[in-house]
Amino acid sequence: MRSTTRPNIRRWLAAVAALVSSLVLLIGVSAPAQAAETSWADVGNGARVLSGVYSVTVGGATYEVARGIDNNVWFRYNNGSWHPLGGDNSARTVSPPRIVEFPPGQVMALLRGLDGEIWYSRATNGPANFWAPWTRIGSGARAIGSPLAVLITPNVLHIDVPNDGRFVSYTGLYSFDGVLSQSSSGWRVSEYARLSSDNADIEGDSSLVVYNTGYGRTMISDFYVGTDGHIWEVTEYSDGAPASVRRISETAVCDSGVAAARLGNQTTVATPGQPGFADQQRVLIACIGTDGNVWTSQSSDGGITFGNFSRPSGALAPSTTTPAISPSGTSWTLTISWNGSRSTLFPDHAAVGKRIS
């Protein structure tokens, strides 16, 4: 039986003093990729982006967002043409936007505003690019990076964001009878781990919710890069309280933030014995290594253990920004903003991706 005693926060401050500064990833073992992969391809149909492409599929339709080279949020529906989200050319951000299914059956885009707050908009008609006006999630986020949004339950969205103190601000967004409301606690701050001072790291970390067999319950896993340049995982309870902090790899070192995603249904968490449990236990993480190219690693036990980092198959894939990973039921789509100064295989800032299964 797992102890319900939560860790002493003071111990995290000492144990995670390493969770601070520059990002440098991947001096790892160059093992061959073990997954089935497609070739790298221009997945943006000529679009130029400053981030990877984030997507969600709802009702059989795919919604995608990216940060454009004009720092606006760009959107496309079902692989159609790209447009400023909602036709609004003023939705400026200097961090990658995110997109989720929340509440169930609806699509929500989130961004860090230039005011340091987190804003959301919901699609009202995807094919027509109709979106509700941007709404601020309370005040006090003090964000300096992208929001990390994951569903705890179909009606509870957990949101983490790196703040100007280089700790993590977090809150919850609740859906009841179609009405959204923020947690009564507003934005709270977790001071058990301090984040990197590298801007690319701050803008590109990741979060997921998965059943953790070690704890015997659903947990939140946040992935960051520490002062030692390694990837760290902070495992949290559903209320955001820390359970453990650990380094993922002794050899992998990153030059970007960390992308992470699990497979399977993204709005519910399967427990052992339930349909879809094995798929949801599969986790992919990725970042840009010190060689300037994409590296990845996989887990088949919900992120408890990861294999060696390796470059994806095919051509080297250079980028200066954090990769994006968009999951489906049985495969991931890994996308990057292509670094044309390192390779002329694709134009500079092209949205380039591949599928990994």
pLDDT (tens digit per residue) in 48-75: 999 999 999 999 999 999 999 999 999 9
Pairwise CA distance, residues 280 & 177, whole Å:
28
Helix (H) or strand (E) holding 19: none
Q: Encoding tokens for residue 279?
A: 């798929």
Cβ(146)–Cβ(120) below 8 Å? no
Cα pseudo-dihedral 117, 123, 124, 130, rounded to 10:
90
Q: Which of 38, 115, 129 is nearest to 82 (CA)?
A: 129
Q: What is the pLDDT of residues 145-176, one digit of tens each?
A: 899 899 999 999 999 998 888 888 999 999 99
Pairwise CA distance, residues 344 & 357, whole Å:
27
Give the model's confidence band at 199: pLDDT under 50 very low, under 70 low, under 90 confident, else very high. Answer: low
Q: What is the pLDDT of residues 98-144, one digit of tens each?
A: 999 999 999 999 999 999 999 999 999 999 999 999 999 999 999 98
SS3 content of the chain, % helix, strand, coil (to 5): 5, 40, 55
- How buried is 345 (Cβ within 10 angstroms: 0-12 exposed, 13-18 middle, 19+ buried)? middle
HSE toward the beta carbon, residue 80, CA cutoff 13 A: 13
Q: Encoding tokens for residue 90?
A: 């003023």
Which of 15-29, 178-192, 295-309 is predicted least confidently?
15-29
pTM of this structure:
0.88
Phi, psi at residue 30, to the nearest 5°? -80, 65
Pairwise CA distance, residues 27 & 320, whole Å:
17
Provide the 10 A C-beta neighbour count for residue 151: 22
Residues 6+ apart with CB under 8 A from 274: none
Long-range CB pairs of 176-181, under 8 A, 24+ apart, other chains included: 178/103, 180/103
Average pLDDT over residues 19-27: 38
Helix (H, G, I), strand (E, B) or coil at 202: helix
Cβ(206)–Cβ(223) below 8 Å? yes
Pairwise CA distance, residues 286 & 334, whole Å:
8
